[in-house]
Amino acid sequence: MKKLFFTILAVACLASTATAAKKTTVKQQNPFLAPYTTKYEIPPFEKIKYEHYLPALQAGIDEQNAEVAAIVNNPERPNFENTVLAIDNSGETLNKVAYVFMALVESDNTPQMHELAEVLTPMITAQNDEVNMNEALFARIKAVHDAADELGLDKVQRRLTDKYYDRMVRNGALLSPALKDTLKEINRKQAALSLAFTNNVMHEIANNIIWVERVEDLAGLSQATIDDAAALATQKGRPGQYAFTASGATRLAVLNNADNRALRQQMYETYLNTASRGDEHDNSANINQLIKLRQRKAQILGYETFADYAVAPVMAKTVERAEELLMQLWWPAIKKVDEEVADMQAYADAHGANFKIAPWDYYYYAGKVKAEKFNFSDDDIRPYFELNSVVKNGIFYVANKLYGLTFTEMKDAPKYNPQVTVYDVKDEKGKHVAVFMTDYFPRATKAQGAWMSEMNAEYNYQGKSVRPIIFNVASMTPPTKDTPSLLSIDEVETVFHEFGHALHGMLTTAPFHGLEGTNVDRDLVEMPSQINEHWMLVPEVLKNYARHYRTGEVIPQELVDKLIASSKFNQGFMTTELVGAALLDIEWHKLNWCGDIDVRAFERSVARRLHMPKLVQFRYRSPYFKHIFDNDQYSCGYYTYLWSQVLEADAWERFKAEGPLNRAVADDYRHFILEAGDTDDPMELYIKFRGHEPNADALLRNRGLKE
């Protein structure tokens, strides 16, 4: 997942010597209010204290307001440099604070960060509105937009100008003063509700404990999982017992492996009821208020529904086109589910299970069928997937083969947490390309899921150059006292996926902040991450990183063959989960009335209309569907994972035909996709790489849903 935490108009990182010289000695004691002196301007995390955030953010807001005032009061005729480029480069201090704050509030959300979020998030939202709705600024941007031909703007300058113009229109620049005030209030309320939504989810995941008293009831679980549960129980004041939360790695470990059916059911239902138990942490009211606010926002801006507003500026263009794509995948997927369930029920019956398969049995019996059909299990392959090797001999190996990149650990670099590893990324000529950080292990202060984001914005214009600082965050299986971190195949996939996002951020050569890296249409942003997953099973790559953590033995060819053969296994279930969640997201945002909604009843009605299989739940139930309710980035946009998969599956066909490690193909892919950012229409860029528009056939074949 690509995280975009804030939408300030500009994301500048170029230090102004004149501005820096004016900062007082007192201000210089605040790390945010002085130029970073660290190598590659990595934020000096060890010097940043909680008390620094608020004054620095306020100083940054004041600084950007002064910059905006200078732009709008400039007596010269508006042109690209004095208006569009000037706003694109504004807000250096503001963004320095916001980058670090937004990174840590998700990856290291201590109680102090939680308190700061209550104050800082509304301030960032309000400043975003102040800039986006500034009438005088919009008038100058519109003047440049309307006179683009006369001013001689080149294609990239025109695209940045159009992007700012369209963004300001979509944020209310053409509204009356009264409606602008209404929109600002909506945005303020949305920010507070989204923060409350996310806090509820994190609280529920951390505090809804499943207790087990006897180790005999943990049969089937790995010793590492049992040890972690014992440690958590001790931490919670119950030594000698076992405590489980519904966090990602723990939940899947139980659902996949626990022989104790009652424990599987308890885990399934604990997760399913996250933030929907009717107590103070129930997100139903937050969802209702967010949906109402989004409806009102869309209507103010001239759209019938929020779905229409959300889809209009991206590749799909219309809700109908997005739904059409999803339904192409839906019917083959649910048909496949019936076959998968039949296989699982047959296995359960043959092994003495005197019951009908229930939702909490799905993962467990899918694993049993997979082990029987392909004659291997997760335990057989984990020893070959040691995290350090997956990183250094897997993703870094591919990046070197395809793009000539090298990764050197920066042991003395600043880190926001001791679990972080920092790398200096260089090209074949030894030139610095980016800083890359990894943060792979779970902790109580880290949000669920995996994502990529950045600590600054790349810039490359008229001799001035700033290279990006990119980071990947996840919650992988941690090491134990006896073993290093040994990953499941799904976790390996996550490492490759998030690194695909990282490459998109690291390799960008777009000249302007607003067009750099992953600042592309939501429909395209997941393509580089998802296509990168394919390399994990390329035989040459797999044999390079998949080595037994004790013996160094390369993964046996027999296991490789089984891994590749099983890669399409259970894709009916996986696709149904994903497409179902995307359709649920769209249905929420197609609503155009303002009554209160029973969240669970609404979900049931969507499932009925879709003829959703009874054993499959939406990948995320609404009360913990953070993608669509913790900000607007993926609101009515979860479908873009599938849209991007159509793109990447079709694009991968070229790599398959010409060679997965073919440098010439990689050069084209790097040039037209990874480096380009948002410098051109995404479909045009895709066609330049692939030679034609994509269709869903390749994805259906990849998932085994079509011959």
Spatial separation of the C-alpha atoms in residues 625 and 5, rounded to whole Å: 16
426 pLDDT higher than 60:
yes
pLDDT band at 522; cut points 50, 70, 90: confident
How does strand 242-244 pair with strand 210-212? antiparallel
d(CA 177, CA 530): 43
Contact 384, 547 (CB under 8 A): yes
Task: Choose the most confident range, by mean pLDDT, from 28-32, 490-494, 639-643.
Answer: 490-494
> What pLDDT band is residue 18 in, cutting at 50, 70 and 90?
very low
Q: Are 164 and 123 in contact (CB under 8 A)?
A: no
Q: What is the pLDDT of residue 150?
A: 97
| Three-class DSSP category at 436 | strand
Which of the 8 DSSP states describes residue 473? E
Q: Strand 451-454 relative to strand 406-409: parallel, antiparallel, unpaired?
A: unpaired
Q: Report the run of H or E that residue 426 belongs to, with start and end.
A: strand 421-426
| Res 434: pLDDT | 97
Give me the mean pLDDT over the 147-156 stretch: 97
The architecture in CATH of the region 17-174 reads Orthogonal Bundle (1.10)
Cβ atoms of 639 and 576 closer than 8 Å? no
Look at residues 546, 410, 419, 405 and name the one whose alpha carbon lies nearest to residue 473: 419
Q: Which range among 106-110, 147-151, 289-293 shows the weakest confidence by mean pLDDT?
A: 106-110
Q: What percent of the chain has pLDDT over 70?
A: 96
Active site annotation includes 684: no
Confidence of residue 2 (pLDDT cuts 50, 70, 90): low
Q: Which two tokens stand for residue 270?
A: 């604990």
The rounded distance, in Å, linking the Cα atoms of 360 and 257 is 11
| DSSP-assigned beta bridge partners for residue 460 | 465
End-to-end Cα, the chain, rounded Å: 29
Q: Rounded distance, CA 334 to CA 336, Å?
A: 5
Which H or E run includes 186?
A: helix 177-207
Q: Where in the chain is the domain with CATH 1.10.1370.40?
A: 17-174, 382-571+654-702
CA dist 689 and 482 (Å) reads 47
**pLDDT value for 585:** 97
Give which of 307, 686, 705 is closest to 527, Cα–Cα: 686
β-pair type (459-461, 451-454): unpaired
Q: List C-alpha distances in Å: 350 to 346, 347, 353, 365, 412.
A: 6, 5, 8, 12, 58
> What is the reported pLDDT for 661?
98
The Cα 405–Cα 426 span in angstroms is 6
Q: Whole-model pTM above 0.85?
A: no
**CB–CB of 395/542 below 8 Å?**
no
- What are the C-alpha distances in Å from 220 to residues 240, 243, 375, 613? 19, 16, 17, 27
In terms of Cα–Cα distance, which of 164, 132, 161, 144 is closest to 64? Answer: 132
Answer with the residue of higher pLDDT: 153 or 643.
153
Question: Tokens 């992007």 map to which residue?
Answer: 163
How confident is the model over 371-385, as pLDDT tens digits? 999 988 778 899 999
Give the separation between CA 297 and CA 188, rounded to whole angstroms. Answer: 12
Polymer length of the chain:
707
Catalytic residue among 498, 516, 533, 577: 498
Q: Which of 226-240, 498-512, 540-554, 691-705 has the lowest mean pLDDT?
A: 691-705
> Which tokens in the block code for residue 672?
């037209």
382-571+654-702: CATH class: mainly alpha
DSSP, residue by residue, 488-550: -HHHHHHHHHHHHHHHHHHS---SSGGGSTT-S-HHHHTHHHHHHGGGGG-HHHHHHH-B-TT
Q: What's the 3-state SS for 331-371?
A: HHHHHHHHHHHHHHHHHHHHCCCCCCCCHHHHHHHHHHHHH
Q: How far apart are CA 705 and CA 619, in angstroms?
A: 19
CB 519 within 8 A of CB 676: no
Stretch 249-268: mean pLDDT: 95
pLDDT at 188: 93
Provide the mean pLDDT of the chain.
92
Amino acid at the residue 153 = L
Q: What pLDDT is recorded for position 15?
A: 28
Window from 23-32, 197-206, 304-313 with minimum mean pLDDT: 23-32
State the pLDDT at residue 16.
30
Helix (H) / strand (E) element for 367: namely helix 362-374
For residue 7, what pLDDT band results from cuts at 50, 70 and 90? very low
Span 182-234, pLDDT tens digits: 999 999 999 999 999 999 999 999 999 999 999 999 999 999 899 999 999 99
Nearest to 247 by CA among 232, 262, 227: 232
Structure confidence at residue 3 (pLDDT): 59
